[in-house]
């Protein structure tokens, strides 16, 4: 599963919200971790009201402090400072991930100097996941001291079709490692929430559209039961349900109702970063959900 974890840090307390989760994963999975800091060109003196690390010496000292303070002593922790100042920090992180460190997982917070939306839709998540490179665990920073990570409940939204089952192997291993309960969810649109090309067809063929949606529900129930059987055979606690409505809304609402600790989502890999987010459920879930989200790119 995850044998090497990369954690980009900018020196701010907000970014450090990713550290407890990364530390928990490294300890539970016995996986080494690399802490990364990129020196930014023409960087402001402050970032998120914290001192911005613009010198290699202070950045190295900071990463060393985080490694000693927050990670178990038995875990191998490397740290790297990219000293040549760059304009595009997001692109530099992606470059390090794909060509140098080759981690199995990147863990980071959903914030950036231009705001959450800019980071998610214009840089890190878009570049990493759209190119199908590395699973990305996104953390929403809380105010105050970061909380210890727990993984009692995992929500796994599954679309119809086998390609979306790519989230199951990772979910199983995480659940086995943390003894977590897995809740599977498939959301089938209602007649009023059908989107894209299906929406145009529904206006012309309403009866046919309604019948097709009911067939999708039946297929989803059968698919989920197969997954439940597999999880039971693996001695994993699991439940499943089919919901009707807008997928992102149903996923976020259920994550709050069940008080889950993690959402695991597969994301469509398309040609080009801009095309990746088109008509995708993932950005809407990431924007609205308050729990960590593990994005797994479809190959």
Domain ranges of the chain: 5-139, 153-297
Kindly report the number of other CB atoms within 10 A of residue 42's CB atom: 7
pLDDT tens digits, residue range 14-57? 888 899 999 999 999 999 999 999 888 876 665 656 666 778 89
Whether residue 142 has pLDDT greater than 90 = no
Instruction: Write down the pLDDT at residue 41.
Output: 81
Q: Which CATH superfamily is 153-297 part of?
A: HUPs (3.40.50.620)
Whether residue 119 has pLDDT greater than 60 = no
Q: Which two tokens stand for residue 103?
A: 């981690």
Q: Do domains 5-139 and 153-297 have the same CATH topology?
A: yes
Instruction: Write down the pLDDT at residue 260.
Output: 97
Region 74-95: mean pLDDT is: 88
Average pLDDT over the chain, rounded to whole? 82
Q: Structurally, what CATH architecture does the domain formed by 5-139 represent?
A: 3-Layer(aba) Sandwich (3.40)
Angle at 88 between CA 127 and CA 59, to 5 degrees: 110
Region 97-115: mean pLDDT is: 78
Instruction: Write down the pLDDT at residue 123.
Output: 47
Buried b (16+ CB within 10 A) or exposed e, 83-108: eeeeeebbebbbebbeeebebebbbb
Distance between CA 191 and CA 245 in Å, rounded?
Answer: 9
Whether residue 179 has pLDDT greater than 80 = yes
Whether residue 158 has pLDDT greater than 80 = yes
pLDDT tens digits, residue range 268-293? 655 344 433 445 688 788 888 999 99
Helix, strand, coil proportions of the chain in percent (round to 5)?
45, 20, 30
Distance between CA 77 and CA 66 in Å, rounded?
Answer: 10
Region 106-131: mean pLDDT is: 58
pTM: 0.86
Instruction: Write down the pLDDT at residue 264.
Output: 96
């Amino acid at each position: 599963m995850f044998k090497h974890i990369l954690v980009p840090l900018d020196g701010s307390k907000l970014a450090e919200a990713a550290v407890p989760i990364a530390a928990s994963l490294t300890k539970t999975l016995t996986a080494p971790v690399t802490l990364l800091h990129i020196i930014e060109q023409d960087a402001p003196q402050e970032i998120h009201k914290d001192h911005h690390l613009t010198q290699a010496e202070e950045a190295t000292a900071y990463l060393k402090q985080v490694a000693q303070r927050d990670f178990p002593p038995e875990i191998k922790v490397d740290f790297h400072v990219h000293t040549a100042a760059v304009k595009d920090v997001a692109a530099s992180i992606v470059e390090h991930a794909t060509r140098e460190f080759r981690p199995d997982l990147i863990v980071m917070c959903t914030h950036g100097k231009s705001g959450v939306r800019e980071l998610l839709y214009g840089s890190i998540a878009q570049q990493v996941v759209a190119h199908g490179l590395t699973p990305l665990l996104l953390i929403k920073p809380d105010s105050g001291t970061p909380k210890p990570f727990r993984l009692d409940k995992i929500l796994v939204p599954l679309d119809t079709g086998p390609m979306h089952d790519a989230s199951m192997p990772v979910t199983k291993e995480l659940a086995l490692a943390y003894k977590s309960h897995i809740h599977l969810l498939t959301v089938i649109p209602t007649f009023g929430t059908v989107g894209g090309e299906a929406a145009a067809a529904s206006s012309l063929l309403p009866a046919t559209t309604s019948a097709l949606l009911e067939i999708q529900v039946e297929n989803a129930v059968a698919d989920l039961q197969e997954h439940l059987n597999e999880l039971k055979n693996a001695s994993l606690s699991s439940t499943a349900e089919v919901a009707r409505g807008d997928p992102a809304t149903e996923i976020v609402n259920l994550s709050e109702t069940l008080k889950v600790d993690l959402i695991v989502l597969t994301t469509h890999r398309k040609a080009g970063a801009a095309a990746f987010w088109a008509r995708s459920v993932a950005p809407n879930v990431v924007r609205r959900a308050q729990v960590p989200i593990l994005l797994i790119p479809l190959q």
